Structure 1
Amino acid sequence: MPLLPPPAKPVDPAILLVPGLGDSGPSHWQTLWEHELDAASKVELGDWERPHRNTWVNKLNLAIHRAGRPVILVAHSLGCLAVAWWAHYEQPQRGDPVLGALLVAPPEADFFPRDERLNPFAPVPVDPLPFESLLIASRNDPWMNFHTAAWLASHWKSDLVDLGEAGHINADSGLGLWHEGLALLDRLKARIGAGNAGHNPAERIATGRLGLPSHFAAGAS
């Protein structure tokens, strides 16, 4: 009887880092993750100071398909809105090719944008995202208040993670490598795997049932 070939080893997803306005500088956690994580690479959206929505969406789409394997998106600030617009335009099948996304500190673009350069990204799509996602928000983010972030998370069907008072969750927040963020990335990966194993996909990470540290639970300050 011929021997069966060994089962194929699961392919680790590519981690695409999607920066916001002005790109992520050398001390930003996204830049540090790019150097720290073998599977991570930054999406070069270009026009960092005068972003053009469709250009950003097209370059994100190209990076996703060039990855040649499943993808996890890790977006910060305006990069989160680029991800939302990509999903709106492309209408991908759930989990194909994007398995999930960390959406960190999206900015207000509809009613009270802090910077006029965000205007081309309004109105922000509020369609449910076709992949697992965590929206990570701060209680004192100058670019979007926490209640608006919670409202957006409910429309995107993202799990809301309350990071307390962490500013815009950027280099100015003094996060360094941002180990809590890496823990959230690991939890997202586990959740994607748990969903494939038949666990309840409606289970909310903010409830703490996936073993997050207590200060990540909903309502923490």
Structure 2
Amino acid sequence: MINFMIGVLSSLVATWAGLAAAFLWSGRFRWFLVTALSRLSGGDFGQSWDNKAEAEADFNREIRRARKVDLFTGRGNELQRATFSSLLTQRPGSAPRPHFRILLPHTGVGTEAQWTRDRESEIASFDRSFGTGQLHRQIETNVAHLAPYNDDGTVETRRYDFPHLGRICITDQAAYFTPYLPDEHGRDSKVLKYTASSPMYHALARLFQKLWEGPS
């Protein structure tokens, strides 16, 4: 009988230990810990993922609970994918969409296009489909895709004349920064996440606002 009770207790302890370990290893707990450390220290204890695909679940969860979303991006292909579909479509009875602002690059002539040409030359060094204006065409395709949503007030879109330094997505709770490297696509770059209490969050939000208020 004693051995039976010991066996039952051991199983219960092992089960609870497994559940506790799973919770402690979960993304939500790590984000809770990062947030707590950032608030206590005033530091930048950001989470990171090796690429966009690994960050997708966390990113989607953050987007679903956001009240505002600011997006600074390069070509903007993700705007035609599931990532941002909840911000562009409104189903009957669903929660109100967050305020969504988007910054896309200039693709004009002369100096207005210099940074788009600069980024295309980088991509062309490792992707042969670029180098003949492909990036320009992709950006303009996404601008056209957003036009109806701008017309009905779903989103606000402006253009920027600035280096394609990465993708920045800012919500009221967190900021995601994907720094573009000169020898790989943005989807393969590391994704960094910062809490709303961190200095980096406020620096990225300030950069977005300055570009938003600048010439478009």
Q: TM-score range by the shorter chain?
A: 0.3 to 0.5
TM-score (norm. length: structure 1): 0.33
Which structure ranks higher in relative contact order (CA pairs < 8 Å, sequence separation ≥ 6)?
A: 2
Q: More helix by proportion, 1 or 2? A: 2
TM-score (norm. length: structure 2): 0.34
Larger Rg: 2
